[in-house]
């Protein structure tokens, strides 16, 4: 039987809303049963019904939805939180405490302390709190993780991750509301580009290497003068296991569209992946030729094989990476075990890394501990 | 409200089945309401229920499904036919005659005569008979079509299409049932690789240029000796409007994974697209530099914009091209107009082109009329 | 000691002249000792001296040069003929008969009969008559030939070669003298684009497979109406050994800059090479992953290793492919043996293939013998 | 008339020797007249003669060559120094003082103080002391410099340069003499990978932006434990003009062959270039599409046009970038003016940057002045 799914935020015109709805429904695992889609209750109710949600479950806001679903017999099994960043903590906390499983958009919280609260609730309640680091659910990203885990590259020496784009490269955008808030501490918090995109890359580095970022040194720059927060950042780091890390992120890299890519170098080989061509991995064994690994080829790990839907060289893209998060969530809700779902702990680690990077950048690149106190 | 959708064929282990189910459900437009999924009735019923179809609409075969749905109140609005090729005609005909809309996998029929029957039924019944030339529903393929239509390349001089792969390149596969049947006239009909893949490329050439293939000259080869039907073919053609066409297709091109790509050259520019990287078009204006056009960029045609779900440089892949066929079908079923849905006429034209190519190849490359008599 | 080298044609402003001068001098193997560079004797003499040729060997025309060098003690060891096409035969013949080695630009002659004359003279005189199919001297092209020769791909089933560009895509160029003559039978002979570029691709197909083109079927088109000769051609062929060939060439493919590439598919693998990225070969073993082979990597054939000058991933380009022709010529002139130098026989075969393609195209694609009578 | 050229170092088996000999001779500008090629005098003399140098100018060592050439009438116009790094200073100094023009391999010196000595001698003597930052002589690198200089990208905000390879990625190479010395302070000095490759990237960043690196912060790592010096480094920097810089260099990036690439982002556009595909630049104007600029296209800067030899899309590679350094040297020796030749000042700046990076890395990434005292 299908599971019931509800969504908070992601209303009409939202960028991420469609990806979640597609993600939840694409594989026929969830029925879109309840929603509170918009800050404007009337618009949210109307849009939910237009998307097929029954009138009595098309809610005006999340509190109404919590009240309406809480004691319902066929209540939603999973709630996706895709509201503005500052509200993630409160909503996620409330739904977890009410016993719902939650998939929260990133960032999970705005502070480390809030993150620790969520982790504790998730741990004590036994509810899932997943965070949507969806790039980790691409089949070939899972394959890289599996390669590293089975020792296919030997000890990992170095990981180099980039997440750069140029969509905020126009200084004339100073008054564009879609852009401006990201560099305004009142709305975005302590970090701009690193908190927005960098943490995806940092999560990916940890995810693939199976290792934790232990300490870091950051260089932040606001290359457009009107910006308070950084639009370009370089973060050097070391993992607990001693791997060297380099992470560059930028929003003024005009010509880079979605330049999220990662390279991992070990004792016996190197691999490379790019989000704009996500169905391949370039793998070079020490002393050998570079090989192009393809999603769907024979011999991939179970995880990579399981999360691919169509044959080799038939590309699958971003929305289906999001769908893979839902595939794994459905399995876990049903009691199966899935390794790789991004967790509340991952959300907390990201927040701690953001704080550490801000602190380091202010201190001229001093090396600081990147781990949340709770997980040290 | 969602439309109801039913599927025939595409059972467990099928390659194309998952793409259709994802395509129909991804955007929340169709409810998977009825199915006859497998040649083995029991397996088909069981699998359909596992996928969420109600027990009374999980049918044992297509005749049972036709009987069961025919007079049902909330009967399926659309039936997808994804059974073995030789059965497409019979099933499609039956459902069309019963007033259902049909999406048929390619090839629509095994003969030109059958194709003409389907076209007539579709025309007289007012029912939609679409054929799943799904590559035409990629946003950037629609963009190419729009560019040509608005004269962006001037008169089209030349179109060069390839569809080559190497997945049948192993001579040792002579006994592999997944491969062997394609080269056996008893099962595959008169053509192997051209009928299987070449017609996708031929459809694409017509689709983008908005022009009809009028005549052709073919060279077929069975490069693996045990094969009766061709595993490699070259087809030169001319459109009604005088465009020169070159089409190469192969299944022994080891190293090509899914080498479906197309180049269109006009008086004032050229464009290039490849199915393995479907979110870009390379466009060169006469006398200018090559530009990389991106799905999701500003200023694309309505059609390209409408059929994309996530921002620029977030890749969308094959399953969502299939989903786009369903997006357009839902719109047409609801009474809207959509240009670009592959029609029964397209299915008929493909079949005529297959027959023409076979005839030409047998006659040493003689030029023959490629059009179905009914549409000349 | 360095060999002495002379050049006929290739004067100031010529496209190919600089490549020959660089090719002869780059590796310190030849001294540029004599020249007749220009149709205008005075300009030719002046330019030769400017390039370092002594005044008494800066000739006004080829006859003067022949007379001057013929009985000279340190006469030139090698003469390069880079004059307008229609003069190649006469000059090459004269110098061969006078006992000089010759490197002739393509096409070697304008007719098959002339080609046969040259072959006979070369054979009887023991002089080298090489033709500048310089692409065959790229290290990685030599590597492909070596792979095929040692059976690394098994029997070759299929070869697909393209040589397409868009530099003649402007219909407004009808009066541009650099373009117009190529499509004018009075100046270009019987064929336009196929004779200009296609024969490079055809030579390459034979060169890599080590097999001769036996028969062919051609489709020619003049996509710009004012042209008499073809600007786009498709040639299907079969080699003596039974390999299937596909060759597309075009000069109206706007956006293709120098689209000369080749794919070779055998029983146990496939390879791919492109002239715009000439230092790599993409190799896929049957059932395996695509591997990127690099110029300069360990384990290449002697020929590929010998003809590369700088380490792996330091690109070498077109002028050094020309230089490689001179490297091999110097060796052969000194009495060493070199396999792979394009010969007068190759020049003759190209001319026969041009004639065959013209004949076939006129006969609606009929299959015709592509071999010169003398070499059947 | 041709200039006379002499070479010190670069004997048989050397990697860089052939590139210099080709570079000097390819365009017919220099005659290879004198040489002291090898640490073993007899081998050096023999090899020089084999390469065409007269017996009396085939010297046993550089002192003998200095003595022999000093007062000779047709003495060499230019001396290339391609000996082991630690000897560059002494030899360059001696030849400059004797009035020869010098092209020195990088690094010009082993200390800042030595560098300042060379700069002073070059300035006072009026002799050219060029340093072989040859990548700066690629036509498309010159084009990027010209684009920036004419304001084509607006103020430059950010430059991101990488020079990474994996050729020292084998820990088993600890005893390989070709590798080991680079990480041994006794032989390589204070820095390994940054001094070897990083300074090429740093020079390029300054070269293209036309701006000086003012201060930097470095993170060095020896990812292979037996190494004392770094095999991986990240350097953040700021130019005098306020541009943000990111520079990553590595020798353990297995799978990267010659990963030298650079991206420059300004207010109104971004550009990208990679040394493995050096004939193109990817250019994106703010708000526009990415365009592929090609060496040889119409409208390039004079410098880019002048340093290209063959038409568009005919690749030119590394040896001809070296040759371009000689092209410019010949012009300057003849009294013409050339902007862009890497100078002794550039060599000095590199050495200062190495020292600064070492100091910063030791101080945990502290920001330090990167400029040589003499040029502050």
Q: How many CB atoms lie within 10 A of CB B373?
A: 10
pLDDT tens by residue, C327-355: 999 999 999 999 999 999 999 999 999 99
> Alpha-carbon distance C193 to C202, whole Å?
13
- Contact A294/C297, CB-based, under 8 Å? no
Residue D39 exposure: Cα atoms within 13 Å on the Cβ side = 5
Which pair of tokens denotes residue D82?
């391609």
pLDDT at residue D62, rounded to an integer: 98
Give the bridge partners for D32, in sequence order. Answer: D5
More confident residue, A329 or A376: A329
pLDDT at residue A174, rounded to an integer: 80
pLDDT at residue C276, rounded to an integer: 97
A-interface mutation test, from B164, B251, B313, most A Cβ less than 10 A away: B313
Is D292 within 8 Å of chain B by CB? yes
Whether the Cβ atoms of residue A16 and residue A82 lie closer than 8 Å to each other: yes
**Residue in this structure with the two tokens 């960098």, named with its chain if needed:** A198
Q: What strands, in cross-sheet order, belong to the sheet with A78-82?
A: A30-36, A3-9, A78-82, A101-104, A129-131
User: Does residue C236 surpass a pLDDT of 90?
Assistant: yes
Give the bridge partners for A235, in sequence order. Answer: A218, A247
Which pair of tokens denotes residue A82?
């895709």
Whether the Cβ atoms of residue D59 and residue D65 lie closer than 8 Å to each other: yes
What is the pLDDT averaged over residues B252-257?
98
pLDDT at residue B334, rounded to an integer: 96
Q: How many CB atoms lie within 10 A of CB C76?
A: 25
Is D13 within 8 Å of chain C by CB? no
In sequence order, which residues have a C-beta less than 8 Å from that of residue C8 and are 6 or more positions away? C35, C36, C37, C62, C65, C79, C80, C81, C82, C83, C91
In sequence order, which residues have a C-beta less than 8 Å from that of residue B264 and are 6 or more positions away? B144, B148, B153, B156, B158, B159, B160, B208, B209, B270, B271, B272
- Contact D246/A244, CB-based, under 8 Å? no
* Percentage of chain D modeled with pLDDT above 90: 97
Whether the Cβ atoms of residue B307 and residue B297 lie closer than 8 Å to each other: no
User: Does residue C373 surpass a pLDDT of 90?
Assistant: yes
> Alpha-carbon distance D217 to D196, whole Å?
18
Helix (H) or strand (E) holding D142: helix D139-149
Beta carbon pairs, C and D, within 8 Å: 104
Q: How many CB atoms lie within 10 A of CB A38?
A: 24
pLDDT at residue A18, rounded to an integer: 94
Is B274 within 8 Å of chain C by CB? no
What is the pLDDT averaged over residues B231-252?
98
If you write DSSP's letter for every residue of B201-220 in order, what string do you get?
HHHHHHHHHT--EEEEEEEE
Residue A61 carries which DSSP code? S
- CA distance to partner chain C, nearest, from residue B231 (Å): 11
pLDDT at residue A177, rounded to an integer: 87
What is the pLDDT averaged over residues D113-120?
98
pLDDT at residue A105, rounded to an integer: 97
pLDDT tens by residue, B154-163: 999 999 999 9
Nearest residue, CB atoms, B367 vs list C285, C287, C364: C364
What is the pLDDT averaged over residues D162-190?
94
| Strand, helix or coil for residue D368 | strand
pLDDT at residue B177, rounded to an integer: 87
Q: Is 0.90 topped by the overall pTM?
A: yes
Report chain B residues whose CB lies below 8 A from the CB of D291. Answer: 289-292
| Closest residue, chain C, to B219 (C-alpha) | C236
In whole angstroms, how far apart are CA B183 and each of A49, B197, B231? Answer: 51, 13, 7
pLDDT at residue D175, rounded to an integer: 85
Instruction: Please report, to the nearest 10 degrees, the dihedral formed by the alpha carbons of residues B287, B289, B295, B299 taken in order.
Output: -60
> Alpha-carbon distance B17 to A46, whole Å?
33
- CA distance to partner chain B, nearest, from residue C152 (Å): 13
What is the pLDDT averaged over residues D87-100?
98
Which pair of tokens denotes residue C282?
């993409």
pLDDT at residue D177, rounded to an integer: 87
User: Does residue A1 surpass a pLDDT of 80?
Assistant: no
* Percentage of chain A modeled with pLDDT above 90: 97
Whether the Cβ atoms of residue D12 and residue D84 lie closer than 8 Å to each other: no
Residue D320 CB-density burial (10 A; 0-12 exposed, 13-18 middle, 19+ buried): buried
Which pair of tokens denotes residue B109?
């029929």
Give this complex's ipTM: 0.96
Residue B8 exposure: Cα atoms within 13 Å on the Cβ side = 28
User: Does residue B139 surpass a pLDDT of 90?
Assistant: yes
Report chain D residues whose CB lies below 8 A from the CB of B297. Answer: 289
Report chain D residues whose CB lies below 8 A from the CB of B293. Answer: 289
A-interface mutation test, from C290, C297, C298, C312, most A Cβ less than 10 A away: C290
* Distance in angstroms between the alpha carbons of the first and the last residue of chain C: 41
In sequence order, which residues have a C-beta less than 8 Å from that of residue B170 and are 6 or more positions away? C286, C287
| b/e code D34-58 from CB counts within 10 Å (16+ = b) | bbbbbeeeeebbbbbeebbbeeebb
Phi, psi torsion values for D246, nearest 5 degrees: -130, 125
Rg (chain D; Cα; Å) = 20
Is B285 within 8 Å of chain A by CB? no
pLDDT at residue B222, rounded to an integer: 98
Confidence of residue B320 (pLDDT cuts 50, 70, 90): very high
- CA distance to partner chain B, nearest, from residue D271 (Å): 14
Cis peptide before C266 (omega within 30 of 0): no
User: Does residue B21 surpass a pLDDT of 90?
Assistant: yes
Q: Report the neighbours of C using a cutoff of 3 or more CB pairs below 8 angstroms.
A: A, B, D
Strands of chain A, DSSP E: 3-9, 30-36, 78-82, 101-104, 129-131, 156-164, 213-221, 232-239, 244-250, 259-266, 269-274, 280-285, 290-294, 368-369
> Alpha-carbon distance B35 to C187, whole Å?
68
What is the pLDDT averaged over residues D292-312?
97
Give the bridge partners for D247, in sequence order. Answer: D161, D235
Among left, alpha and beta (phi > 0; psi -120 to 50; other), residue D150 is alpha
pLDDT at residue C322, rounded to an integer: 98
Confidence of residue B175 (pLDDT cuts 50, 70, 90): confident
Report chain C residues whose CB lies below 8 A from the CB of A290. Answer: 291-292
pLDDT tens by residue, C215-230: 999 999 999 999 999 9
User: Does residue D1 surpass a pLDDT of 80?
Assistant: no
Whether the Cβ atoms of residue A69 and residue A92 lie closer than 8 Å to each other: no
Is D289 within 8 Å of chain B by CB? yes
User: Does residue C1 surpass a pLDDT of 80?
Assistant: no
What is the pLDDT averaged over residues B97-119?
97
pLDDT tens by residue, A266-320: 999 999 999 999 999 999 999 999 999 999 999 999 999 999 999 999 999 999 9
What is the pLDDT averaged over residues C5-12?
97
pLDDT at residue A114, rounded to an integer: 98
User: Does residue D217 surpass a pLDDT of 90?
Assistant: yes
Report chain D residues whose CB lies below 8 A from the CB of B291. Answer: 289-292
CA B344-B346-B351 angle, to 5 degrees, is: 95
In sequence order, which residues have a C-beta less than 8 Å from that of residue B77 and are 6 or more positions away? B3, B4, B5, B30, B100, B101, B333
pLDDT tens by residue, D345-370: 999 999 999 999 999 999 999 999 99
pLDDT at residue A294, rounded to an integer: 98
**Residue in this structure with the two tokens 């070709």, named with its chain if needed:** D178
User: Does residue D25 surpass a pLDDT of 90?
Assistant: yes
- CA distance to partner chain A, nearest, from residue D284 (Å): 5
> Alpha-carbon distance B153 to B243, whole Å?
13
In whole angstroms, how far apart are CA B358 and each of B160, B194, B246, D39? Answer: 20, 9, 16, 72
Q: For chain A, which domains are there?
A: 3-134 (3.40.50.720), 136-312+343-362 (3.30.360.10)
| Closest residue, chain B, to A49 (C-alpha) | B1
> Alpha-carbon distance C252 to A232, whole Å?
44
- CA distance to partner chain B, nearest, from residue D304 (Å): 17
Helix (H) or strand (E) holding D119: helix D112-125
In sequence order, which residues have a C-beta less than 8 Å from that of residue B9 and are 6 or more positions away? B17, B36, B37, B38, B81, B82, B83, B84, B105
The pairing of strands D269-274 and D280-285 is antiparallel
Strands of B253-305, DSSP E: 259-266, 269-274, 280-285, 290-294
pLDDT tens by residue, C283-309: 999 999 999 999 999 999 999 999 999
> Alpha-carbon distance A271 to A284, whole Å?
6
Beta carbon pairs, B and D, within 8 Å: 18
Give the bridge partners for C101, in sequence order. Answer: C78
Q: At what angle do helices D88-97 and D112-125 cross, to 10 degrees?
A: 20
| Closest residue, chain B, to A316 (C-alpha) | B317
């Amino acid at each position: 039987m299908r599971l019931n799914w509800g969504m908070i935020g992601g209303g009409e015109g939202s960028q991420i809303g469609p990806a979640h709805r597609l993600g939840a429904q694409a594989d026929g695992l969830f029925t879109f049963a309840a929603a509170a889609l918009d800050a404007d209750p009337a618009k949210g109710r109307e849009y939910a019904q237009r998307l097929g949600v029954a009138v009595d479950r098309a809610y005006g806001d999340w509190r109404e939805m919590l009240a309406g679903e809480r004691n319902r017999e066929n209540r939603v099994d999973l709630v996706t939180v895709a509201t503005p960043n500052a509200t993630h903590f409160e909503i996620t906390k409330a739904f977890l405490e009410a016993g719902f499983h939650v998939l929260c958009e990133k960032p999970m919280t705005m502070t480390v302390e809030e993150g620790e609260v969520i982790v504790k609730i998730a741990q004590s309640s036994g509810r899932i709190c997943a965070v949507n680091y969806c790039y980790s659910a691409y089949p070939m990203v899972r394959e890289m993780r599996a390669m590293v885990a089975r020792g296919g590259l030997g000890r990992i020496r170095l990981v180099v991750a980039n997440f750069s784009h140029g969509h905020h490269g126009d200084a004339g955008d100073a008054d564009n509301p879609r852009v401006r808030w990201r560099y305004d501490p009142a709305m975005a918090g302590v970090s701009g580009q690193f908190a927005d995109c960098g943490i995806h890359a940092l999560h990916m580095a940890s995810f693939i290497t199976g290792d934790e970022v232990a300490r870091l040194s950051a260089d932040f720059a606001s290359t457009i003068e009107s910006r308070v927060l950084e639009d370009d950042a370089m973060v050097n780091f070391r993992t607990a296991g001693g791997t060297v890390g380099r992470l560059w992120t930028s929003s003024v890299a005009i010509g880079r569209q979605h330049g999220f890519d990662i390279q991992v170098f070990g004792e016996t080989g190197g691999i490379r992946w790019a989000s704009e061509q996500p169905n391949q991995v370039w793998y070079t064994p020490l002393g050998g030729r570079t090989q192009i690994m393809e999603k769907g080829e024979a011999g991939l790990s179970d995880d990579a094989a399981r999360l691919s839907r169509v044959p080799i060289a038939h590309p699958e893209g971003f929305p289906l990476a999001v769908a893979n998060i839902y595939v794994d969530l459905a399995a876990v809700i049903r009691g199966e075990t899935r390794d790789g779902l991004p967790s509340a702990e991952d959300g907390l680690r990201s927040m701690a890394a953001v704080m550490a990077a801000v602190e380091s950048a202010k201190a001229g690149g001093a090396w600081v501990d990147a781990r949340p106190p709770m997980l040290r």
